Structures are given as structure tokens and as C-alpha cells.
Structure 1
């Protein structure tokens, strides 16, 4: 009877990843490729892809309407991705995702500031001036009064949208390297 504890019987087996592990890797590369197909051209240019065939395949999939053809093309993209180092691509996609989340959080934060200002009315202008000292007090006052008139007349909230845009401009000017201030003479 053979000794099953002996390692000699297993020495002829190849070392390396199992067939299941290889399939998981291929599926992950295909999913990464599918994520790339959802990017805009501008975003795609930010991703470090050296293989022009891969870039062309990613752009080509956007023109495919048939589900089965699209699936086959995504498999082709996954196959092309096997020949490149996918780690820099995954890192660049993660960075884009972080930027998107940061922009969404900033957007929501500005919406909350706007909503608090609209709820507080004219006294709330002081909070805005504290946050953005270069804010135009008179412009804020006009927008708040316009919003109150729109609410009384049950009109669309055009002033609230204008107020949001103005707050976004203030935030962007404060984020500029020179602080958004005018040059001194």
C-alpha cells in the first residue's frame, strides 16, 4: 500500500496558481477593463496605459450595441490586460474615484451651507462672511430676498440655484493658491 504522507508523489505537480485562481485573476482584469470603458476620454487620458491596442479596444467598445458582442469585446480587453501591469491602472482608477467622492462631498457641503443660509435668512449672511471674508454682502442679501419672493409666489427656486453657484465660486476662489484675492499694487 502506498504511503500517502510521502511528498514524492506530489513532486510532479506544477507549482503556481490554481486554475480557479487564474480564472479569478482574469475576471478581475476583465472587470478592471470594463471600468475603463465607462470613463470619459478626459479621464481615460489620466490613466497610465502604454498599450495603444488596449486604448483602442476600450474606445471601440463604446460603439458596440449588441450585448453578446460587447461581452466578447470585454473579454478581449481582459485578454489584452493580461500582458500589462494592471497595478498602476488600478491605482489611477482609485485616485479618480477618490476625487469623485471628494467633489461629491464638497457639493453636498455647499448645499448644506446654502440651505442653512436660506433657513436663517438675512442674519445668516454673517456666517457666510465669516467663512468667506471676500463675499459680497449685498449680493447675498439680494439673493436671499429674491428667494423669499419666489417662495411666496411659489415659483421655481432660481435664486437658490444662483446662491449655490455663488457659494461655489466663493469656495473655488478660496481654494486658489493666492486665496482668490486681487493683486496688490
Structure 2
């Protein structure tokens, strides 16, 4: 047996192991799970309900929501969430979180679009109503003109316009984009 030429002797046990993760890798993975848990804690309860999380993860996240932030208990709870999340596939959670967060952005963007449309209808009147009806023939001309007239009357008196809110609601329900 040649000790100098025996390369088997110097091989580490993890040289051929593709599943080996260094301690630093384990720490990075743990921190990533904690960060994902922190993002989950920042969501509202209704957003969490839409995500269909595992019961253990949901319980941990809800428990963290009840703890004051910037406390040692909160930090430990986030660590515990990270530990629980190691046994769960994080990819579906990330996808669900992206879907929930993006949905809210899309709703806000759509609401903004309908608010701008309402403003154009109120300022330009019948010409804008006609253009909107040409683009969306399913709309009721009479109802649309009535809501625009009523909104302008209420806004002329000052304050909030109930009809303007009804106009936005009508546009959102009738125009499916």
C-alpha cells in the first residue's frame, strides 16, 4: 500500500455526495426561509386565507402576527417559522404570495383606470359617453347618461358624489377587460 499515491485516503466523505450542503449553505437556506416567513407575516389575514397554506405554517404565521415586532419573542417566532418551512416546499408558497400581491396591484390599477374614465365622462359629457358606447356596446346609454348627469349635479353642490361612486361601480361590473 502506497500511502503517498493512495488518493482514496485523502478523499473526504462528501466528495461524491451531490446532496451535501455546507454549514454556510444551511444558514443561507435557513435565512431565506425566515425571510419568506417574514413576508408571510406582513400579509393580511385575508391574503393569507387566499394562499391555502399548510396548517402548521399558517398557525406559526398567525402566532407571529400577534407578537410585537422588535422583540426577542418575535425574532424567535420567525426562526421557528423558518424551521417549520424547511419541511415544506417553498415554491408553491412563493407562487401563491406573488399571485396574491400581484392581484392587489392589478385591482388597484383597474380601479385607477375606471376612476380616470369616470373623470373623462364627467368633464367631456356626451361626446365621451358616445365614444365609450362605441367601444363597449353592452353598456346602457340611458343609465350611463343618467349617472353622469346626476354625478355632475352632486359635484356642483360640493362634497362627495354618491352617483360618481355608482358610475365607477357600474363601469367595473359591465366592462370586463
- TM-score normalised according to structure 2 size: 0.76
* Maintained 8 Å contact 1:48/1:88: no
Instruction: List alignment gaps of at least 5 residues for structure 2.
Output: 1-6
Tell me what 2:47 maps to.
43
- Alpha-carbon distance in 1 for matches of 2:116, 2:24: 48
Instruction: Provide the C-alpha distance between the structure 2 equivalents of 1:133 and 1:75, rounded to a whole number of angstroms.
Output: 56
C-alpha contact (below 8 Å) 2:51/2:100 kept by paired residues = no
Aligned residue pairs, count? 166
CA separation of 1:47 and 1:141: change in aligned 2, threshold 3 A = closer
Deviation at 1:159, TM superposition (A): 2.9
Partner of 1:77: 81
Cross-structure match for 1:53? 56
Paired residue secondary structure (1:95): helix
Number of the residue aligned with 2:162: 158
Q: Which residue of structure 2 lines up, in the alignment, with residue 63 of structure 1?
A: 66
Provide the C-alpha distance between the structure 2 equivalents of 1:75 and 1:169, rounded to a whole number of angstroms.
Answer: 44
Are residues 49 and 151 of structure 1, via their aligned partners in 2, closer, same or farther at CA, if it must alter by over 3 Å?
closer
Q: How far does residue 35 in structure 1 lie from its aligned partner after superposition?
A: 1.9
CA drift of 1:42 comes to 4.4
Q: Secondary structure at the match of 2:25?
A: helix
Give 1:152 deviation, angstroms: 2.9
* Structure 1 residues without counterparts, runs of 5 or longer: 1-6, 176-185
Shift of 1:48: 4.8
Q: 1:146 aligns with which of 134, 139, 150?
A: 150
Per-residue Cα deviation, 1:5-60 (whole angstroms, up to 9, x for no partner): xx99x84485644444333322221111122223344433443534x322211122
C-alpha distance in 1 between matches for 2:118 and 2:108: 15
Which TM-score applies when normalising by structure 1?
Answer: 0.73
